[in-house]
Amino acid sequence: MDIESGDSFSISREITADLIQKFAEVSGDFSPIHLDPEFAGRTRFGRPIAHGMLSGAFISALLTESMKGRTVVYLSQTLKFTAPVFIGDTITSTGTVTRIREDKKIVSLETICKNQDGQTVVSGEAAIMVLA
């Protein structure tokens, strides 16, 4: 593999109300904290927040895109949600290679999602197997 420990990859995506609605439809998570501005306005967040797993999906997309056209299989992912994500935020997902197991072609990465202000909204670790 031409991937080395310390290599880092990033992608960015803007959060829209339409994206949140589509994620609700795909996931089946129709919680009013995500979809009902009146309900969300009465919470500590004051407005709707994006599904946490939407940021997880961005990490999945990052790992597929960062492997330069190779096929990868997601083996594991930890996620710690540290701040809310709102409509209008731009989320940048970054994966940094921390370990490579050449014999099994397994790559471990630190994964972080930050908003446009540089605030970490999600952190974790991922492991993927590079097939081809």
Mean pLDDT of the chain: 95
| pTM reported for the whole predicted model | 0.93
Q: Report the pLDDT value the prediction gives residue 1, as an integer from 0 to 100.
A: 65
Check if the beta carbon of residue 83 is closer than 8 Å to that of residue 115: yes
Interior CA angle at 82 toward 3 and 26, to 5°?
Answer: 75
Domain boundaries, the chain: 8-130
Which tokens in the block code for residue 82?
């540290």
In tens, the pLDDT along 43-60 reads 999 999 999 999 999 999
* pLDDT confidence band for 112 (50 / 70 / 90): very high
Which tokens in the block code for residue 38?
């009146």
123: left (phi > 0), else alpha (psi -120 to 50), else beta?
Answer: beta
**Is 3.40.630.10 the CATH classification of the domain at 8-130?**
no
Q: Report the pLDDT value the prediction gives residue 3, as an integer from 0 to 100.
A: 86
Q: Which of 1, 9, 20 is nearest to 64 (CA)?
A: 9
